[in-house]
Structure 1
Amino acid sequence: MDINEIILEIENYISSIPGIKNGYKPILQLSPKAKLLIIGQAPGRRAQESGIPWNDRSGDTLRSWLNLSREDFYNKDKIAIMPIGFYYTGVDKHGGDNPPDINCAKLWHQSLIDQMPNIELTLLIGSYAQNYYLKRRIKNTMSDTIQAWKDYLPEFLVLPHPSWRNNAWIKKNKWFNEELLPEANKIVGKVLPQEEKFIINL
């Protein structure tokens, strides 16, 4: 199957899930030409409603971290986006997002990755993506995993989820802004040709 056939299969799966809003589509950005793959947890409500991945404040933060313009970020021939769960799963009784549907990753991630032979680097954003892909290589805490980011290169680059909920953690762990993000920019810059990167003069 090619990418379009796989997506049709995913759409049929989502439409069969009880309690999921009718008409929900998988929020994916895929191309055989993509060089960078971003794997997060699941689209939020705004992303689901707009049909655009990372189309919210978390996405703005992520693009800032990676020094990427929206134009480059949403160019599927440069960057593929494939979360652990492909659709918005709603909120729990506390008002937080429900966990992503991990069946999406189990059933289709490898098939989709097989369709993208040019991927040079995969960003694992947040604990769901890191737990799924790092497995026994995961550290005891998210903080330990992020701090050990060099251990997972060159295949993976690990980052916390760019949610406001992690602002306190980022403020406490100054090495994240001072050490990891500058190196992350260099690494992403090697994957995406320099003329295709959006550089911000600081």
Structure 2
Amino acid sequence: MSGLVREIKACRLCAESFSRTETAHAPRPVVWFRPGARILIAGQAPGMRVHKSGRPFDDPSGDRLRDWLGMSVDEFYDMSRVAVVPMAFCFPGYDARGSDLPPPKICGRTWHDKVMEELRDVQLSVIVGGYSQRYHMGVKSGVTDTVKGWRDHAPRLFPLPHPSWRNTAWLRRNPWFEADLLPVLRGKVREVLDD
């Protein structure tokens, strides 16, 4: 385990703010990367199920994401090949309506650049959701426009919507995503994994 991984796992910067959420939980950073990884999955923040399991995308959205990528569970969780780096390493909690709170900005400001410096061998970046697209791609547009422009970034970077069940209607409204983008993405994933 690298010194940076140990530092992130020990982070308690958000303890006070998390204690004030509806879930009143303690920080539990979910850290899933190591130098040498060739695929970066850049996400938003862990959900409650991931907070409990300590394994990123260990939920139905992860099942959908692995299907989009054409990856097995074993491939996805192989840290020697795949790094999962969210904009916040901890579950941020729920608001009063039961919706996920946004990733705390302090997490990204404190850790993200340091993590990216360690991931020098990344050949493919999969940028999931608006928060990570703003950071990694510098975009100001919404997720739909960013994902529609995927050809401008492929084959080294692919912006994706969040694979949550909440986006099922988005997938129905945008059939080009599964018809055009996913086959190219799956081909690139195979190329990088099999190299």
Length-normalised TM-score, structure 1: 0.87
Identity %: 37
Show the counterpart of 2:98.
Answer: 95
Alignment map for 1:151-170 (pairs within 5 Å): 151-170=152-171
Corresponding position of 1:80:
83
Using the TM superposition, name which of 105-114 and 80-89 deviates more. Answer: 105-114
Q: How many angstroms does 1:131 deviate by?
A: 1.2
Contact in 2 for aligned 1:86/1:101 (Cα 8 Å): no
Aligned position for 2:143: 142
1:35 aligns with 2:38: yes
Deviation at 1:80, TM superposition (A): 0.5
| Aligned residues between the structures | 189
Superposed, which structure 2 residues align to 1:57-136 within 5 Å?
Answer: 57-135=60-138
With over 3 angstroms needed to count, the CA separation of the structure-2 counterparts of 1:109 and 1:16, relative to structure 1, is: closer
Cα contact 1:7–1:26 (8 A) shared by 2: no
SS in 2 for 1:124: strand
Rounded Cα–Cα distance in structure 1 between residues aligned with 2:131 and 2:13: 23
Unmatched 5+ stretches in structure 1: 195-202
Give SS of 1:82's match: strand
Alignment partner for residue 11 of structure 1, among 9, 12, 19? 9
CA RMSD of aligned residues (A): 1.7
Question: What SS does structure 2 have at the residue aligned with 1:37?
Answer: strand
One-letter amino acid of the counterpart of residue 44, structure 1:
G
Moved more, 115-124 or 35-44: 115-124
The runs of 4+ residues in structure 1 deviating greater than 3 Å are none
Deviation at 1:139, TM superposition (A): 5.5
Residue equivalent to 2:188:
187
Change (3 A) 1:70 1:33: same
Cα distance between partner residues in 1 of 2:131 and 2:185: 20
Contact 2:155/2:188 (8 A) holds in 1? no
Contact 1:120 1:191 in 2 (8 A): yes
**TM-score scaled by structure 2?**
0.90
Instruction: Answer yes or no: is the 8 Å Cα contact 2:11–2:29 preserved in 1.
Output: no
Structure 2: gaps of 5 or more residues: none
